Amino acid sequence: MFEIYSAILSTLVSADLGISLKDLKKILYKEKYKNTESLEISKSIDTVSRKLEDSKEIIENALLEMEEQKKLFEQMKKEAEISQQISSMNEEQVSALNELLEKTLNRQDKKAFPKNFLWNLFFCVLSAVLGFLLGKYL
């Protein structure tokens, strides 16, 4: 609608003033295009601003997630250190227990040696006597 009125007005003004129709159209549409261009630029700036805000939110979320991951990693690291300490303590306790058992077994072996030797000697003599008797009488 604006274009029809502007065309009629431009024709009348160009006839009265002696200005060419093209120049008059350029002058009239120049203001319209300025507003349109500034409106498009402002829309583009708004779009860029929104996208930057979205990007900012995404980056903030990523940073929060990284912070949580870092805390989780620190916690897991502490747990691993504690586990390693417990493991080393267990190794020390196991080696101490092994030494204690070896000493106990060695003492028992030393105490049991005379008893075992006498029993072995008794059964050896008994088997020799029984073997001799069986061989003689059978």
pLDDT in tens, 22-32: 665 666 666 66
How far is the C-alpha of 91 from the C-alpha of 35, rounded, in Å? 82
Angle at 102 between CA 96 and CA 105, to 5 degrees: 140
pLDDT tens across 75-106, in order? 999 988 888 887 777 777 878 878 887 888 77
Cα–Cα distance between 111 and 102 in angstroms, integer? 14
pLDDT of residue 18: 61
13 touches 19 (CB < 8 A): yes
Which pLDDT score is estimated for 65? 93
Average pLDDT, the chain: 78
- For 53-80, what is the mean pLDDT? 91
pLDDT band at 137 (very low <50, low <70, confident <90, very high): confident
Q: What are the angstrom distances between the C-alpha of 52 and each of 48, 60, 116, 120?
A: 6, 12, 91, 94
Residue 35 to residue 43: CA distance in whole angstroms: 12
The one-letter amino acid at 6: S
Q: What are the residues whose beta carbons fall under 8 Å from the beta carbon of 29, sequence distance 6 or more?
A: 6
65 or 13: which carries more pLDDT confidence?
65
